[in-house]
Amino acid sequence: MWGGRFESAPDAIMEEINASIGFDQALFQQDIAASKAHVAMLAAGGVVTPADADAISAGLDQVLGEIEGGRFNFSRALEDIHMNVESRLAEIVGPAAGRLHTARSRNDQVAVDFRLWVRDAIDQLDRQLHAVQLALAETAEAHAGSVMPGFTHLQPAQPVTFGHHLLAYVEMLGRDRGRFRDARARMNECPLGAAALAGTSFPIDRDMTARALGFDRPTANSLDSVSDRDFALETLSTIAICATHLSRFAEEIVLWTGPFFGFLRLSDKFSTGSSIMPQKRNPDAAELVRGKTGRMIGALNGLLIVMKGLPLAYSKDMQEDKEGVFDAVHSLSLCLAAVTGMVRDMTPDVDAMRAAASSGYSTATDIADWLVRRLGMPFRQAHHVTGRVVALASARSVGLEQLTLDDLRTIEPAFEQDALEVLAVEQSVASRTSYGGTAPQNVKAQAEGWLARLRGEARG
């Protein structure tokens, strides 16, 4: 490839550290698509003859078929996917294959290949995120009124519903999808034609190649085109955020399937056993979702560190951009499939959730709210009075709902009989009717809204 300048072959260790074909062969479809768009543009501009362009395009189709059919021999000596494809193309069509690299460089070639790959990956991840949201929303609708404890600091806080809890993750994943869409829109510019770093003197039509490859426009600066990977960083950032959301849910599955909570059960399809303890049912799928989040966050950190000190334009350091992205995309895809499966598989124990919702004096805020509404008491004073009520229940080792009106009046004589009604967890959740609150009617409406939107996407 550069034999005219060099007099000897690279050292074996140089070949080892320099070759990227072991991982960038994943770009073969994108590389061939970009090459076909490029040669078609060269022919349209008279840079290559129509006959050569037709031969090159047909040869590229043959190479694609060989790779997809498992009949292609990837060579480390040829370093990367670009030279492997071009070398085989030369065997098929002869010297005309050498015209394909006119007006381009491996720098803009890999930039366009990688953008195309990441764009395809975002589309696939979006479809999987849609599936997780749909599973969560359907379960949320079915459990719009199933009471469970809400937590802060992992301590009982106020009662909520299971459906409300699940819809929180639907919202999070919806924002993740928005971040992916934003990243896709920003990266949808075509760097092909930037060449090595300065553009080219050939009369190329970069708008033509951009359109052919589904980009909105060509990139505007040739230096920027080949030297930045912010599109990969933005995608990795979104992957890391999304994985963190999945990890939080996975952690809850781990807690909730244990005997101390007992809120959920996973079937044998998403549980494993122990080699020594026959009784064990381990939520390994959830634990692995939680664990894989670390490697996805690590991929983002790794690429940030690679890019942080690079002067313009291209440096070989940037060959380290792909493996982390490939791994992160694969890991997130696997985690999304696992979470979708667990949501479809899990069986909530609504009785256990309801019993737990009454623990920890979780309706205390409802007493404070009653004091504000009925007696016009300032909330800070109501908070203090309610604290004394909780202290009384705690001293007697009973729940708030076991206190009598006489008990309440020892603390605040103005308490009335209807104050006892707010202590039921069902009444507590039913009262949270503010927009976004946990009242079952709210949750059902929110779930129905999400389902209409998600099912509409599937039809569209």
In sequence order, what are the residues at sequence separation of 6 or more whose Cβ sits closer than 8 angstroms to the Cβ of residue 196?
105, 107, 108, 226, 313, 314
101 is catalytic: no
Annotated active-site residue 274? The verdict is: yes
Residue of 153, 201, 275, 434 marked catalytic? 153
Catalytic residue among 75, 267, 274, 394: 274
Residues designated as active site = 153, 274
